[in-house]
Structure 1
Amino acid sequence: MDFAICAVAALPVRKLPAHEAEMVNQVLFGETMEVLEKANTWYRVRTLHDSYEGWVSSLQLEMIDELTARIGTTYVTAGPDLGDHILFNEVRMNLPMGSSLPGLSNNLFTVGKANCNYISGNAISPKDVKPSEELIRSYVDDWLNTPYLWGGRTMFGTDCSGFTQVIYKLLGVALPRDASLQATRGEAVDFLEQVQCGDLAFFDDGDGKIYHVGLLLNSSEVVHAHGKVRIDPMDGAGIVNAETRLRTHKLRIIKRYL
C-alpha cells in the first residue's frame, strides 16, 4: 500500500478524478493519507486523521512510507491564515492555520523528499495545549468573516464542520470531518445552562438528519459557518440570525470534547 503527504498549502479533495469535479474536502499541508487507487495523475485516497475518502491530484503530493505517515502530527501552525511561513526546497510557502509540521526540530523538517525550513509563525504542539476560553476565543476571532465554502477547511473558505474540525485540531482533539459524525463523539450536555466555551451544538433538518454544527462561546452565543463564519444568538430551540432575527437552525444536541 502506498502513502502520501500533502505538499501544498491546501489540497482539494474531489468527488471524481477531475479538476472540474465537486470539491468535498481539503487536506492541509503536512496531513497524510493512504493511496487506495490510481487513475493516471489522480489518486483516490483516505486521510489518516479522519478516514475521509476522495480524489486528489498526485502532482500535489509527496510519497512517504507507512511508518512516516502514521507517526502523527508533531506540531501544528496556529498563526492567523498565512501567518506561518516555511521554505519548501528553498522556496517560500505560506501555510493556513492547522497545517501539520511533521517531525519539526530546530525549525527543520521534511515532507517526502522535500526539505523544509520553518521561518516564521506560531507552531504549537497540540498534545501540550491547555484549552481555555481565552485560547478558544482567540482562534475564533481569527476565523470570523471567513466565507462559507463547501468542503473548505481554511480561512479563505470553510464549511461548518471544517471550521470546527480545524479549531479542535489546534486544541489537540481529532474530530471526524462531517457534522453528523462529529455528533457521535463527546459527552452530551443536557441543559443549555451547563454549556462551556468550546462545546459543539448540532442542528438537524426536517427529517431529523444532523447537517450543521457550531461552536458555542457560552449558553447564548454560537459561532458557525453560515454564509460566512459569524456569531449568532442561540436559545434552547436553535440559532437566530443576528441581523434578520429569523430562526435559521433547529438545535438537536450539544456535545463536549474537552
Structure 2
Amino acid sequence: MKKILVHFLSVFAFHSFAFSQIDSSSYKKVMLLAESIKDSYHMDKRTSVFDLSMDSLGSYILEYTNKEAAHDFVIQYKKEGISAPLQICGLPDESLGDKVYGLVTVSVGNIRSQPRNSAEMVTQALLGWPVDLLKQQKGYYLVRTPDGYISWLDAAAVSLKSRAEIREWGQGKRIIFTDDYGHAYEAPDRSAMRVSDLVMGNILNVLEKGQLFSKVVFPDGRVAYVSNEQTEDYDQWKSNTHLTAENLFVIAKRMIGVPYLWGGTSIKGVDCSGFTKTAYLMNGVVIPRDASQQVLVGEPIEILTNNKLDTAKALKNLQAGDLLFFAAGKHKSPQARVTHVALYMGNGQFIQSAGKVRINSMLPSAPNYDDFQTRTVVAARRYLGHIGEIGLKKVE
C-alpha cells in the first residue's frame, strides 16, 4: 500500500511539474490566442462553443461548433510554435453517433447553464420542438434550441433522434396546442388518467382524429388523447399565422398576470425576453432569446435625445409592436448592457414581464406609469416588416 501511495505521489508531482512548466511558458499565450479568435469571430458563448482546456498531462483540448474559427486557431497555434499537444474536438461529439437531434418530451424542458439540477435555468424548450444535440455529460445533453441558444437539458426531457427520425416526425400529421394549459389523457375522456400536462405551443403527432379528441403520440412513443378544442392542425396554424401588432397583443395579453421566471419562455412563467419571444413564437416567428440579443436585430427606431428618452420623439416614431430596450446600469455607463425588453402597445403604453406580465406607461401622467423602466430606456427596434432578415425567421 505504501509503495502504491509513493508511486501515485511521484506521478502527481511529475504532472504538476509538467503543468507548471507549460503554464509558465505558453499557457497565457494560448489563452490569449483563443480569446483573439473568439473576438475576431464575434463569438457569443450563448450561441457558440469555443472552449479551451488543459488535461493533466499538459495537452490542450479545444471543443468548438465553429469550424472556420477552429481552423484559424490551429493555424495560429502552429505559427506561434507552441509545442504542447493540441486535441481538436468538434461538436456534435462523435460518441452520439447518428443521434444528433432531439425532441423535447415534457411540456416545458428546463435548460440550464451547467449539467446539474442546481444550476441556473437560462431558457426553456417546448414539447415536440427540435433541438440539436452536441454532447452528453452527467445525465444532461448540451443542446442548441431553434433560436440558437446552447445550454444543458436533462436527458429525461429529450428523445434522441437520427436525421431520418427527425424528418419523419416533421413530415407526420401534427397538432399544436393553442390553449393556455391542458392535459393529455390515457383515454378520450377528461376524467381519465393524465399522461402529461400541456401548454401553449406544444406539438404532438396525430395517430387518429376523433370527433372530440385526437389520438396522439409523444416524441418518446407515449400514446395519449388530447381535446380537439384546445389544438389546431400544425400546418394550418403555421400558414394562418400573420405577424401583426394586433396578433402579437392577442398572445401578449393572454399572459397578463403570469409570474416572472428567470429563464422562462413558456406561459408557466416568463422572463422579460422570454415573454417577447413567446408572443412572436405563437405568431410564427423565432426571434433571439435574450434582450441583449434581441436589441441587435430589426430596424433601429430613434427615441433618445442626448442619450435620454425623448418622450415626444418616442410617441412620434414608435409603432405598436416595436420592442423597447432598457439597461439597469444606464446611470453608471452610457454603454450599459441591455437587461430588459418590453413590447410597445402605442400611446406610450408597453407590456412587459417585470414581477409579472403587466401593462405600464412611459407617460408620467398615466396611472400605470413605470418610472424606473422609463428612465432606463436605451433603444427601440422594429421587427414588423423585417421577418426573414438576420435573427428573425419564420417557424419552419
TM-score norm. by structure 2 comes to 0.56
Among 241, 253, 258, the residue aligned to 2:379: 253
Equivalences for residues 1-258 of structure 1 within 5 A: 2-47=100-145, 49-67=146-164, 69=166, 71=170, 76-80=176-180, 82=181, 84-87=182-185, 91-101=194-204, 106=209, 107=214, 108=216, 110-115=218-223, 117-120=225-228, 121-123=230-232, 125-190=237-302, 192=314, 193-204=316-327, 205-206=329-330, 207=333, 208=335, 209-234=337-362, 246-249=371-374, 250-258=376-384
Compute the displacement of 1:141 (Å). 2.1
User: In 1, are the aligned partners of 2:360 and 2:369 still within 8 Å (CA)?
Assistant: no
Provide the C-alpha distance between the structure 1 equivalents of 2:326 and 2:255, rounded to a whole number of angstroms.
21
User: In 2, are the aligned partners of 1:85 and 1:94 still within 8 Å (CA)?
Assistant: yes
- Amino acid in structure 2 at the alignment position of 1:17: P
Q: Which string of whole-angstrom CA distances, capped at 9 and with x for unpartnered residues, describes residues 92-138 of structure 1? A: 32222222346798444551434454424143623421234443332
Provide structure 2 residue ranges, at least 5 long, that are not aligned to the other structure: 1-97, 188-192, 303-312, 385-396
Provide the C-alpha distance between the structure 2 equivalents of 1:194 and 1:218, rounded to a whole number of angstroms.
10
User: In 1, are the aligned partners of 2:298 and 2:381 still within 8 Å (CA)?
Assistant: yes
**CA distance change for structure 1 residues 240 and 85 in 2, over 3 Å: closer, same or farther?**
farther
Please, what is the CA RMSD of the aligned residues?
A: 3.0
Work out which of the two has the higher radius of gyration on C-alpha atoms and give 1 or 2. 2
**CA distance change for structure 1 residues 134 and 62 in 2, over 3 Å: closer, same or farther?**
same
Q: Which string of whole-angstrom CA distances, capped at 9 and with x for unpartnered residues, describes residues 4-51 of structure 1? A: 11100111111111111111111111121111111242111111x111
- Amino acid in structure 1 at the alignment position of 2:378: R
**CA distance change for structure 1 residues 227 and 86 in 2, over 3 Å: closer, same or farther?**
same
Structure 1 stretches of at least 4 aligned residues deviating more than 6 Å after TM superposition: none
**CA distance change for structure 1 residues 60 and 138 in 2, over 3 Å: closer, same or farther?**
same
**CA distance change for structure 1 residues 131 and 51 in 2, over 3 Å: closer, same or farther?**
closer
Structure having greater relative contact order (Cα 8 Å, sep ≥ 6): 1
Provide the C-alpha distance between the structure 2 equivalents of 1:8 and 1:241, rounded to a whole number of angstroms.
42
Provide the C-alpha distance between the structure 2 equivalents of 1:188 and 1:21, rounded to a whole number of angstroms.
35
Provide structure 1 residue ranges, at least 5 long, that are not aligned to the other structure: none
Which of the two has greater helix per residue? 2
**CA distance change for structure 1 residues 195 and 118 in 2, over 3 Å: closer, same or farther?**
farther
Give the match's secondary structure for 2:144: strand
Give the match's secondary structure for 2:324: strand
Compute the displacement of 1:229 (Å). 0.8
Provide the C-alpha distance between the structure 2 equivalents of 1:203 and 1:13, rounded to a whole number of angstroms.
25
- Amino acid in structure 2 at the alignment position of 1:247: F
Q: Which string of whole-angstrom CA distances, capped at 9 and with x for unpartnered residues, describes residues 161-197 of structure 1? A: 0011111011111101111111222223335324332
Identity within the alignment, %: 27
Which of the two has greater strand per residue? 1
- How many pairs are equivalent? 252
